[in-house]
A and B are shown apart, each in its own frame.
Chain A
Amino acid sequence: MIEAKNLTKRYGDRVAVRDLSFTVEPGRVTGFLGPNGAGKSTTMRLILGLDRPHQGDATIGGKHYRDLGQPLRVVGALLEARAVHTGRSAYNHLLCLAQTQGIPKKRVDEVIELVGLSEVARKRTGGFSLGMGQRLGIAVALLGDPSVLILDEPVNGLDPEGILWIRNLMKQLASEGRTVFVSSHLMNEMAVTAEHLIVIGRGQLIADCSTEEFIERSTKQIVVVRSPDAEGLVGAITAEGGTATANGDGMLTVTDLDAARVGQLAAAGGFVLHELTPRRGSLEEAFMELTKESVEYGTTVAADGQGGAR
């Protein structure tokens, strides 16, 4: 279990993390979500004792990271920034870290096999691709068979096969009762991986709930209707308290009314319908909507809330 209490970290004048508190429970994948620059990596570095918080406290299983006797046997971490000497082979990198914890060589071979790096294990890591570097980082995280995993953007640079692999691996690790805390700036990735979400923006907590609840809460139900008499239908919908936006070609996007009600209105008014579809707004949009005030490096398009995607 990971506990963060009132964490605050400043870099110069910039506040990276502000009074952040949350708990990460074992036995499930907890997603740590936020736009770039929201403070995800900083929070993880604070938990791992790499950075010192200005205020607050972070513990793992009730202990500070620096007080763990054999830290790699308790916590496996994958950092976003590279943490490998480029002149050393993957095998020797894992070996020297294993030796600090009294982990035998056999385990080094085991994790190399597990992440699929056997063929390049004796090569210098300087020549590794982003994906290979990521796999090596995961091998380091798994080295000590830890009960807590802290993974910063683990799917970065992985190909689709690699993404699927890491997704399944995280679920499997969680199902074994481990604590899995994984950060991402991609809502869709988290929706299929994480059971629980901790969402932050500008270093502050935005949401701490189950993924299901987050989706439920933050995505609006919409109804897409197509009618040759769209204008008339708009009138009927507006009169009923709904909001309809015309998208051209007789297409309407209706909010604040459900599909059944829109159908009834059409029938009552004698409007011909070519399409009537209830739809959920996209997760990605909901996430952008939710964090829009807290985006650190927003583009002008995203900042005015119009979203260039449509």
Chain B
Amino acid sequence: MTAATSTALAPADGRNRFDRLLLAEWTKIRSVRSTIWSLILLVVLSVGFTALFTALTATGWDDFTERDQALIAGDPTSMILGSGFMLGQLTVCVLGVMVIGSEYSTGMIRASVLAAPRRLPMLAAKSVVFGVLVLVLGVLVSFASFYLGAAIINEKAPVSIGDPGVLRAVVGGGLYIAVLGLFALAIGSIVRHTAAGITGVIGFVLVLAPLAQLIPGRAGDYIHAYLPSEAGHLIAQAKQAPNDLLTPWQGYGVFCLWTAALLLVAAFLLKRRDA
């Protein structure tokens, strides 16, 4: 017929299949430079700062008090994963917000919603693709950080992947990063604004925890313990600290509940609001 009519198209099958949305979300994620840069930054920051911090710890070992030395030697995994990886997590906070926030700031969300007018499958597909991507990368970065850090600190505080709780903590580092990404994505979807979303997530992760510690008494301890990132990162510690109120898996469960609740709010608002 005419130029507008296609020869490449099969007849429409009239179905909105989830696998198609997954593929589309994957294309969206990989075709924007900011994603690639954020992920590179995650690797570089995590691995780089792990090396830096553990090296500083190793060289300054003799200056530490005996109490500090004992603390590190007691759970070197927490020290290793708590250094660079905790900085690298900020890139995931930023990226999680950007993955959806940039759709609102650029107007892309309208095209996305026109292609998937029921909306929720689109949010679900985005969450799955981003979650899996960050999980895979998070586990890889966690293992890389651990092996690098363990090698550097080996003489002062030897640790092996076979030690009790260590494997769970290292895998847990990846699990934590994956849920953190979804946590950020949910907030980005709720506030629909990249800068505000990033501020919100960083506030949750970095600002709220020290503030909660200022609350006096037992209530303060509980509030602090149940904050999303505080509860969540327990999974990346090999050993339970004496004053931890939650076990690693309990903490991780609390973090997952926070994230699930925020995703539900995001889904509800996405469905309700004008795009």
Contact = CB atoms under 8 A, between A and B. Distances in A.
B269 to A, nearest CB: 13
Contact of B16 (A70, A104, A107): A70
Nearest to B6: A145
B67 interface: no
B107 A49 contact: no
Contact of A84 (B15, B20, B23, B106): B106
B2 A172 contact: yes
A261 B272 CA distance: 64
Contact of B110 (A73, A81, A101, A104): A81
A69 B15 CA distance: 5
Interface stretch (B114-122, B195-203, B223-231): B114-122
Contacts of A72: 114-115
B13 A84 contact: no
Given A50-B275, A65-B117, A88-B31, A172 B4 contact: yes
Given A50-B274, A72-B114, A100-B20, A85 B8 contact: no
Which 7 A-B pairs rank lowest in CB-CB distance, beginning with the nearest? A92-B31, A69-B14, A106-B8, A73-B12, A99-B24, A83-B110, A96-B27
Contacts of A286: none
B264 interface: no
A96 B34 contact: no
A142 interface: yes
A68 B117 contact: yes
Contacts of A272: none
B5 interface: yes
Interface string B1-33: 111111111101111110011011101100111
A97 B23 contact: no
Contacts of A81: 107, 110
Interface in A38-83: 45, 48-52, 65-74, 77, 79, 81-83
Contact of A102 (B20, B102, B109, B117): B20
User: Which interface class (under 10, 10 to 19, 20 to 34, 35 or more) fits A?
Assistant: 35 or more
Given A69-B14, A100-B115, 14 more contacts: A69-B12, A70-B12, A70-B14, A70-B15, A83-B110, A87-B34, A87-B106, A88-B31, A93-B111, A96-B28, A100-B20, A145-B9, A172-B4, A176-B4
A145 B5 CA distance: 6
Interface in B125-159: none
7 contacts: A50-B113, A97-B24, A99-B27, A103-B9, A104-B8, A107-B6, A107-B9
B6 A85 contact: no
A165 B9 CA distance: 24
A67 B119 CA distance: 11
Contacts of B115: 71-72, 97, 100-101
B9 A87 contact: no
Contact of B13 (A102, A140, A172): A102
A107 B12 CA distance: 13
A84 B113 CA distance: 12
A15 interface: no
- Residues of B contacting A: mostly: loop
A86 interface: yes
A145 B12 CA distance: 10
A45 B107 CA distance: 14
Nearest to A51: B274
A71 B108 contact: no
Contacts of A110: 6-8
Nearest to B111: A83
B146 to A, nearest CB: 34
A96 B109 CA distance: 13
Most buried by A among B4, B5, B34: B4
Contact of A176 (B5, B9, B32, B109): B5
B103 interface: yes
Contacts of A148: none
Nearest to B5: A145
Given A176-B2, A176-B5, A71 B114 contact: yes
A56 to B, nearest CB: 15
Nearest to A89: B31
Most buried by A among B14, B114, B116: B114
Given A66-B118, A114-B3, A85 B32 contact: yes
A83 B117 contact: no
A169 interface: yes
A93 to B, nearest CB: 8
Contact of B106 (A86, A95, A97): A86
A194 interface: no
Contact of A85 (B5, B10, B12, B103): B103
Given A70-B15, A88-B28, A100-B21, A49 B8 contact: no
A104 B9 contact: yes
A96 B117 CA distance: 15
Contacts of A86: 106
Interface string A167-211: 001001100100000000000000000000000000000000000
Interface string B210-249: 0000000000000000000000000000000000000000
Given A68-B117, A83-B107, A140-B111, A92 B27 contact: yes
Nearest to B15: A69
